[in-house]
Amino acid sequence: MLRYAVERLIQAIIAIFGVLTIVFVVMHLSGDPTLLLVPQDASAEMIAQLRSQLGFDRPIWVQYLEYLGGLAHFDFGISVVQRVPAFDIVVSRVPYTAMLAAGALVVAIGMGIPAGIVMATRRGGWLERLLTAIVVTGQSVPTFLSGIVLIFLFGVTLRWLPTSGSGDFASLIMPSIALGAISMSTFARMTRISIIDELGKDYVRAGRARGLSLGSVVFRHVLRNAAIPVITIAALEIGNLLAGAVIVETVFAWPGIGQLAIQSIQSRDFLVVQVIVLLISFVYVLTSVIADFVYALVDPRIRLAR
Amino acid sequence: MSTAVIALRQRLRRIPISVILVSIVFLVIVLLAIFAPWVAPADPNRQNLLGRLKPPGFEMRGITYWLGTDDLGRDLLSRTLYGAGVSLSVAVLSVVVSSLVGVTLGMIAGWFRGKIEILIMRLVDIMMSIPAILLAVLTVAVLGPGFLKLVLVLGLTRWPRYTRVAYAQTLQVANLPFIKASELAGAGAARILFHHILPNIAGPVLIVATAEFGLMILMEAGLSFLGLGIQPPASSWGSIMSVGRQYIERAWWIVAFPGACLFLLVFSVNVLGDWLRDQLDPRSRSR
Amino acid sequence: MSAKFASIGAMLLALTASTALAQTKDTLTIDLPNDAATLDPHLQWNTDSYSIYRNIFDNLLTRDAKGEIVPQVAKSWKYLDDKTIEFQIRDDVTFQDGTKLTAEDVAFSINRIIDPKLKSPQLSQFDQIAKAEAVSPTVVKMTTKSAYPALLAQLVKLSIVPKAYVEKVGDQEFNVKPMGSGPYKMANWQKGVQTELEAYASYWRTKPPFQKVVFRTVPDVSTRIADLKTGKADLVRDVPPDQAESIKSDSNSQVLSVPTERIGYLFINAQGGVTKDVRVRQAIAYAIDRQALVEALLEGYGKPVEVLGAEPVFGYTDKVKGYEYNLDKAKELVKAAGAEGATVEFLTSPAYSRATVEAIQQMVNETGLKVEISSSDQATFLKRRQGDPANAGGLAFGAWSCACQDVDGVIFPLFRTGSIWAKYSNTKFDEAVDKARVILDQKERLKLYEQAYQILKDDVPGMGLYQAYALYGASKKLKWQPTANEAMFVTDMSWQQ
């Protein structure tokens, strides 16, 4: 077990390090922010001077080594655009994305799991067909489209909810639904499959044979056993939600790290992008490690297979 | 009635009605996309500055704009029809690129093992832990936008999924007796990979590809929506919607029609994909 | 469980209460498309940032509604010699912490912005200044590297910062918690969300009209307009002309518009590609129907121009006429140049109106040229547009304003040989604009600019399309007259009585 843990951890560190390097190189290939910072009447010499003051005229490997050097002391550098530590900028936006991801998870789990249970237990009925259609719809609508439709319906036409804004509960509703829809489908599918898996097992047949109703078997035993893969999915979905947040936050002008990421890429604010990517890939890796561990703890066969 | 026809009928009867319906929807969209130049009532790029943002059914100078006009007075119906071709071809081509890259790498990793396996699979881990949309936005910043670059961006950011599947499948298949036999018979690695292993792992790869196809349509739309996709005046559904979003209050139709088409297309792809998976994966069919 | 619900309920109530409070009359809420990048006024000179920070700081000099340079923190000034100028500083100005603003602070502000260690992107605007020193508590002496007539125009952009405070808290902290001598002081800055300012009661010029001002960041236009209509915002900036109608139709909102010094223009590369041939450039100029652009795309919120300039800009002339819309002539010229079917690349970015770019593309395509749009993000656009002429594209659309109301800030950076924007070189033009830059005789300057405009007309390295109007959506309760230089001073606004 310990060896497996160490191995997994090393893999994770390598992955994060690789992400860091790839993003660093790609960002620097895309130019630097100097031209965006200078006033429109700046001369070529002035631009060159600022570029060298900001250090962007140095070879990329020098900049890379310097960046790694800073990282070693947990120094993420100072944003050249905003002139405050890049880490602080990102941290100030994290609560918004966390709120949004939590809202989306509530939507996804709150709707996905019940739907999955019904789909597994009422197989072949019209209800299952209807739910299947809803689930496929959830994953067929791009978040920006559902975003626009929601804004138009509830924001502009009915004026029930604020069209944008941040921080209060009312403005969290629409982005959460838009973001949660795709995950909802994932949860519904996973719940359905794992319940069906469980239903085929002997203890269920035995229970049914003793005269227990399907409902009580499901609620007393099946759900608990089927929960493990669903929990794993929940962990993995957090990473996907962060990625989905990029577009949803742009559509709803939600000031989280997704919106910040797009803006920072466009303003070539390298260090801020680095921190965001680092954070997201950290969450990705962390959640997948956790998911692996949950599996390994529960199911020793996986451990042996490695 | 010949037995073949009866067999076909029986097989068709086993196909759920929903699958037949979405297949028709899918086919209609594909056909409209292919024949857009003949079907479209107008030149999709012809502007009419005096007829901007007009509602569906608007008539001017003897032309009827069935779906209304956009902010430059262009016929939305024609633009949506032409846009279908762009959205579909970007999706098809990027699935081709990413599956080629991904499957090749996956087979190499699974067949040769050792250092190259570690290298490839670690790279997969890395790629999978950067959100695809961010990676795409970053790559567009370097390559610039445009049709071919879009295909390249999507293709080069989406291959790891195929690699994972191809790798896992290759590991399983590699130990099958007939492959061992041909290896002993002196067949080269390329021959074994493409003649023996590839056909045996095609099913699971196909499942990934259908799922990815739907995703690619959404990704293309998302990037075009952010203004990073196809170059104007050409349009994809995503870029039309991106324009329409500004005018949602004044001209809802600009978002509505391409949006509805996009939904129908992805919905039918997803239903077809689910069905295909059930057919190809006996484990899930038994459910 | 019920306790949990109760606490959530309380939270919701608090949230509703706080939004309700924000609606009281003491607060003015303004929706801006972007957040300020920095609020340290010595770091960024862009609209997003200075719309906010110019309400926190005073400038050494400023411009009045007509665009004339007038005193602000400086009472008066006089040249001691070509390179030395002496400013008399007011003695009744205090910073928001109550300390007095002195000549020391003015000298510090100048020396700070020209210090390479600050790495200010604004350095190029002040790099002609050698140094500044406080001669007495009310006198500052400034020396320039050489005779520099544009000095005063540049000093309009200089905010005065408190020496003691900046030195105490350091540059980084000052950027997050700026403090100046302006009418409003920083209350709270939630990055990417909103900036709250509070009135500084002992402001020296006037009593600030609102107790509190909130600048919110709302990138999406339709959302800004929705905010206005629902009363979440009292003033919204950056309303595209074709959205004005939707504001007008609302009974509680009004459109405030004003002709600005901003000019929509078309850049035509004179040093690269098929547009190297002057006939092709003239053909493009003939092909563009400026009237149609203004009527259709700007819906009347703009005015076609003959030259690359507009009335509020000094040096503007109505004596030079532009090219009339004449498609036949355009086609002839393209044919004569043997350029039929030649490709012209049209560079653009999401920062520029896509509709305008596509409309121009269509118009130029009519001549027989083939225009291809290359839309990239702003960073890439600038890199190409300002780089090597061979790679700078054939066309680009822009909307230029120097916020200086002088043609020197328009055609000099755009077309003077060696400027980053110029893909054009004509010694006669250079001579005219160089000379006009250093003389003070206004009549003589006007004449030189007329010459320069005539040369630009013949060579067409670019052309003016229209004078842009600034459009704001405002609550009907708000009284404000926007200005040609698109400034946004809260002290100019008030509630309708």
Q: Please answer yes or no on whether C358 and B47 come within 8 Å at the CB atom.
A: yes
Is the predicted pLDDT of residue B287 greater than 80, yes or no?
no
Nearest CA-CA partner of A144 in B241, C350, C375, B212: B241
Instruction: Using DSSP, state whether C28 is helix, strand or coil.
Output: strand
Rounded distance between C-alpha atoms, residue C176 and residue C191, angstroms: 9
pLDDT score of B222: 86
CB C184 within 8 A of CB C199: yes
Which band of pLDDT confidence, cut at 50, 70 and 90, is reported for residue A167? low
Report pLDDT for B281.
66
CB contact under 8 A, A39 and C176: no
The total number of residues shown for chain A amounts to 306
Assess whether pLDDT exceeds 70 at residue B285. Answer: no
pLDDT band (50, 70, 90) for residue C38: very high
Q: Using CB atoms and an 8 Å cut-off, which of residues 38-77 of chain A contact chain B?
A: none
Token digits of residue C128: 């002609």
- Integer Cα distance of C349 and A35 in angstroms: 14
> Angle of helix B76-112 relative to helix B253-280, nearest 10 degrees?
30
Whether the per-residue pLDDT at C18 is higher than 50: the answer is: no
Task: Return the H-helix or E-strand segment holding B65.
Answer: strand B63-65
pLDDT attached to residue B139:
87
C175 closest CA partner among C39, C56, C273: C39
**Helix, strand, coil percent content, chain C, rounded in steps of 5:** 35, 25, 40
Structure tokens at C51: 């719309």
Q: Is the pLDDT of residue C3 over 50?
A: no
Report the DSSP beta bridge partners of residue C345.
C372
Among the residue ranges A179-183, B100-104, C17-21, the one predicted with the least confidence is C17-21
Q: A52, A82, A149, A152: which to substitute to probe chain C, counting the most C Cβ within 10 Å?
A: A82
Structure tokens at A12: 């994770």
CB-based contacts of B41, cutoff 8 Å, min separation 6 = B63, B64, B66, B75, B77, B78
Residue C399 CB-density burial (10 A; 0-12 exposed, 13-18 middle, 19+ buried) = middle
Q: Which residue does chain C place closest to B232, by CA atoms?
A: C373
Contact C142, C108 (CB under 8 A): no
Residue range C138-188, pLDDT digits in tens: 999 999 988 887 788 889 889 999 999 999 999 999 999 999 999 999 999
Residue numbers in A near C17 (CB within 8 A): none
Least confident of A125-129, C115-119, C352-356: A125-129
- A174-188, C418-432, C466-480 — which is least confidently predicted? A174-188
Contact assignment for B145 to C362 by CB distance below 8 Å: no
Facing C377 at nearest CB: one of A164, A167, A266: A266
Mean residue pLDDT across chain A:
85
pLDDT band at C8, cuts 50/70/90? very low
For strand C462-475 and strand C302-304, is the pairing parallel, antiparallel, or unpaired?
antiparallel
Size of interface B-C (CB pairs under 8 A): 63
CA-nearest of C103, C121, C122 to C162 is C103
3-state secondary structure (DSSP) of residue B237: helix
Question: Residue A245: is its pLDDT beyond 60?
Answer: yes
Residues C275-291: tens digit of each pLDDT = 999 999 999 999 999 99
Do A46 and C127 count as a contact with CB atoms less than 8 A apart?
Answer: yes
Cα distances from C299 to residues A290, B72, C469, in angstroms, run: 58, 12, 11
Task: Please check whether residue C466 is in contact with residue C293, taking contact to mean a CB–CB distance below 8 angstroms.
Answer: yes
What is chain A's alpha carbon radius of gyration, rounded to the nearest angstrom? 24
Q: What is the mean pLDDT of residues B244-249?
A: 84
Quick one: average pLDDT of B29-42?
A: 93
pLDDT at B12: 67
Residues 112-141, chain B: which have Cβ within 8 Å of C? 140-141
Higher-confidence residue: C136 or C24? C136
Q: Which of A176, A169, A295 is nearest to A232 (CA)?
A: A295
Alpha carbons C322 and C315: distance in angstroms, whole number: 16
Name chain A contacts of B252, Cβ cutoff 8 Å. 152
pLDDT band at C13 (very low <50, low <70, confident <90, very high): very low
The C-alpha atoms of residue A145 and residue B238 are separated, in whole angstroms, by 9
Which residue among B50, B140, B246 sits closest to C222, beta carbon to beta carbon? B246
**Which residues partner with C464 through β-bridges?**
C265
Asked if this assembly's ipTM is beyond 0.90, the reply is: no
Predicted local distance difference test score (pLDDT) of residue C19: 46
- Residues B128-150 have a mean pLDDT of 85
Measured in degrees and rounded to the nearest 5, phi and psi for residue C19 equal -65, -35
Q: Which two tokens stand for residue A94?
A: 């994290």
Distance CA(C472)–CA(C470), nearest Å, equals: 7
**Which of B53, B232, B248 lies closest to C354 in CB terms?**
B232
Q: Which of A38, A83, A168 sits opposite C172 (nearest CB)?
A: A83
Determine the Cα–Cα distance for residues B162 and B70; give it in Å rounded to an integer.
Answer: 39
Whether B240 contacts B83, CB under 8 Å? yes
Of the candidates C246, C355, C377, the beta carbon closest to that of B71 is on C355
- Judging contacts by C-beta atoms under 8 Å, the chain B residues touching residue C246 are 249-250
CB contact under 8 A, A243 and B134: yes
Closest of C197, C206, C155 to residue C179, by C-alpha: C197
Among A133-147, A161-175, C4-18, C374-388, the minimum mean pLDDT is found in: C4-18
Strands (E), C202-334: 212-217, 235-236, 253-268, 302-304
Torsion C244-C246-C248-C253 (CA) sign? negative
C-beta of residue B49 within 8 angstroms of C-beta of residue C291: no
Cβ atoms of A81 and A33 closer than 8 Å = yes
- Global pTM value: 0.88
With CB atoms and an 8 Å threshold, state whether C350 touches B227.
yes
Per-residue pLDDT tens over the stretch C86-119? 999 999 999 999 999 999 999 999 999 999 899 8
Asked if pLDDT for residue A305 goes beyond 60, the answer is: no
Q: What is the pLDDT of residue B25?
A: 95
**Which residues in chain B have Cβ-Cβ distances shorter than 8 Å to C393?**
none
Put simply, the answer to whether A30 touches B214 (Cβ < 8 Å) is no
Distance from the Cα of residue B284 to its chain's centroid:
24
Collapse the DSSP code of A29 into the 3-class scheme (helix H, G, I; strand E, B; otherwise coil) and give the result. helix
pLDDT given for residue B186 in this prediction: 81
DSSP C69-138: EEESSEEEEEEEETTEEEEEEPSS-B-TTSPBP-HHHHHHHHHHHH-GGG--TTHHHHTTEEEEEEEETT
CB contact under 8 A, B131 and A243: yes
Question: Considering chain B, what percentage of its residues have pLDDT values greater than 90?
Answer: 35
User: Which residue is closest to C15 within chain A, CA to CA?
Assistant: A168
* Cβ atoms of residues C48 and C33 within 8 Å: yes
